[in-house]
C-alpha cells in the first residue's frame, strides 16, 4: 500500500467525528481503551489524595530532605 494512502487514512481517522467509524477501526486494530487509574480508586483513596492536594496547596508539607534528616538523627545513620 502506498504511503500516501496510509497518511490519508490516518488523516481521515483523526478528523472523523463518526463514532461508528472510529469504533470499527478500533475493533479492527484490536485496540482496547485504557482505564484511567483514578476511576479504579476507591472513594476513600480519592478523598485521601484530594486531602493531600489541599494540604500541599496550603503549604502543609514536609520536604524529603527534612524526613531524611529526621530518620538519620533518630536511627543514628
Q: In total, how many domains does the chain have?
A: 2
Domain span holding position 26: 1-33
Residue 65 is predicted with a pLDDT of: 95
Residue 33 is predicted with a pLDDT of: 82
Residue 76 is predicted with a pLDDT of: 85
> What percentage of the chain carries pLDDT values higher than 70?
100
Using the predicted structure, report yes or no on whether residue 34 has a pLDDT greater than 90. Answer: no
Q: Verify that 26 and 42 share a domain, yes or no.
A: no
How much is the average pLDDT of 15-38?
Answer: 92
Q: Verify that 67 and 41 share a domain, yes or no.
A: yes
Q: Verify that 25 and 53 share a domain, yes or no.
A: no
SS (H, E, C) 7-63: HHHHHHHHHCCCHHHHHHHHHHCCCCCCCCHHHHCCHHHHHHHHHHHHHHHCCCCCC
Amino acid at each position: 500500500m502506498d504511503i500516501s494512502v496510509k497518511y490519508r487514512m490516518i488523516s481521515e481517522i483523526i478528523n472523523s467525528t463518526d463514532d461508528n467509524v472510529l469504533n470499527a477501526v478500533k475493533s479492527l486494530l484490536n485496540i482496547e481503551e485504557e482505564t484511567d487509574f483514578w476511576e479504579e480508586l476507591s472513594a476513600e483513596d480519592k478523598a485521601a489524595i484530594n486531602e493531600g492536594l489541599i494540604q500541599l496547596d496550603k503549604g502543609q508539607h514536609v520536604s524529603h530532605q527534612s524526613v531524611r534528616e529526621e530518620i538519620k538523627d533518630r536511627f543514628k545513620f
